[in-house]
């Protein structure tokens, strides 16, 4: 499964499965997790300036001696940066932290600062998007996109965009099917990338997930990850344990139509099962 790839609208390809690094402590924990993931066969690593672990990701990649062109690395613009120059500067800082000449995908992390979720930054997002287009044209990001953007947030960017975002990375998992955003992005040719496919671990205990995993003879984590792939998304399970990285990549099975319909209908905050 780790060799399977998806193609973005600009013909860049990315491995279907990647390692998520959100909530991985910076420094040695991130370094070791990325080394383990690369040794397991992962070739797609997702980080962000906001995770403060780009340095560990970059160092692990360098030490692995895997040719850079065999890897797909994503990072993200901090959510509070909503100016053209601020975005260019932050991108340079990310490249420096990663110690890389380019990234494969650069995303606006969120339409609003994490400190003020839901606030309106339409003008700032347009400024930031113009900076991402400049970066894309420079060749230092092979693809560009957004994260946590609703259809309305994307429409705002499209009102001026020369480059349609190549991807939208969203929290997609059983219980949070995100139908509106997924359908909208499909229509526009914007690839969905699923972060937190396990709902940060909470969905592993969901009774429907546990029951259905048993039916397919897989683990709850595998069912949850496969669900995101069946939705047409790339998927970024996070783990700092190599045996789980292996488990999370062993998802070469299909969820049948009726079960997908049941999972797609399921809307539930998974945290209540914790
Ligand atoms: P850990 O990093 O200790 O392995 P998400 O990808 O939705 O953000 O979920 C990440 C959470 O799920 C982390 O707490 C991670 O723990 C845990 N996790 C990842 N893979 C598995 C797995 N296969 N089985 C159980 N827990 C897992």
126-167: pLDDT as tens digits = 999 999 999 999 999 999 999 999 999 999 999 999 999 999
The finding on whether 18 has its CB within 6 A of some atom of ligand 1 is no
Residue to probe by mutation, ligand 1, list 237, 247, 248, 270, most atoms within 8 Å of CB = 237
Asked if residue 22 lies in contact with residue 202, where contact means CB atoms within 8 angstroms, the answer is: no
CATH architecture of 5-269: Alpha-Beta Barrel (3.20)
Torsion of CA 152, 47, 94, 166, to 10 degrees: -40
Mean of pLDDT over the chain: 96
- Residue 11 alpha carbon to ligand 1 centre in Å: 31
Q: Which residues pair with 45 in a beta bridge?
A: 19, 73
Q: Whose CA is nearest to atom 14 of ligand 1?
A: 201
Q: What are the residue ranges spanned by the domains of the chain? A: 5-269
Sheet holding 167-171, edge to edge: 19-20, 44-46, 72-77, 105-108, 144-147, 167-171, 191-195, 234-236
Residue 271: the pLDDT is 53
- Residue 220 alpha carbon to ligand 1 centre in Å: 11
- Whose CA is closest to 197, among 242, 251, 236? 236
Distance separating alpha carbons of residues 263 and 255, to the nearest angstrom: 10
19-59: pLDDT as tens digits = 999 999 999 999 999 999 999 999 999 999 999 999 999 99
197-246: pLDDT as tens digits = 999 999 999 999 999 999 999 999 999 999 999 999 999 999 999 999 99
The DSSP annotation for 121-186 comes to -HHHHHHHHHHHHHHHHHTSBS-EEEES--HHHHHHHHTT-SS--SEEEEE-BTBB--HHHHHHHH
Distance separating alpha carbons of residues 274 and 263, to the nearest angstrom: 19
184-198: pLDDT as tens digits = 999 999 999 999 999
């Amino acid at each position: 499964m780790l060799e399977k790839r998806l193609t973005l609208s600009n013909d860049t390809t990315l491995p279907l499965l990647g390692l998520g690094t959100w909530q991985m402590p910076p420094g040695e924990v991130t370094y070791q997790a990325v080394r383990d993931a690369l040794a397991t066969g992962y070739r797609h690593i997702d980080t962000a300036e906001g995770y403060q672990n780009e340095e560990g990701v970059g160092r692990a990649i360098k030490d692995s001696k895997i040719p850079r062109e065999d890897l797909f690395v994503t990072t993200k613009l901090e959510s509070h940066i909503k100016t053209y120059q601020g975005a260019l500067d932050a991108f340079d800082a990310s490249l420096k932290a990663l110690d890389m000449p380019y990234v494969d995908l650069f995303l606006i992390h969120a339409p609003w600062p994490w400190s003020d979720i839901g606030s309106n930054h339409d003008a700032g997002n347009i400024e930031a998007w113009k900076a991402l287009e400049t970066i894309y044209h420079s060749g230092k990001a092979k693809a560009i996109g957004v994260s946590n953007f609703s259809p309305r947030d994307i429409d705002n960017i499209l009102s001026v965009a020369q480059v349609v975002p190549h991807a939208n990375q969203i929290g997609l998992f059983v219980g949070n099917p995100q139908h509106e955003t997924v359908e909208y992005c499909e229509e526009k040719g914007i690839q969905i990338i699923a972060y937190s496919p396990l709902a940060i671990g909470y969905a592993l205990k969901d009774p429907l997930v546990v029951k259905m995993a048993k039916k397919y003879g897989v683990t709850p984590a595998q069912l949850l990850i496969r669900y995101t792939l069946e939705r047409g998304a790339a998927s970024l399970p996070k783990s700092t344990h190599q045996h789980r990285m292996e488990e999370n990549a062993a998802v070469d099975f299909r969820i049948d139509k009726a079960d997908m319909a049941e999972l797609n209908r399921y809307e539930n905050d998974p945290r209540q099962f914790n």
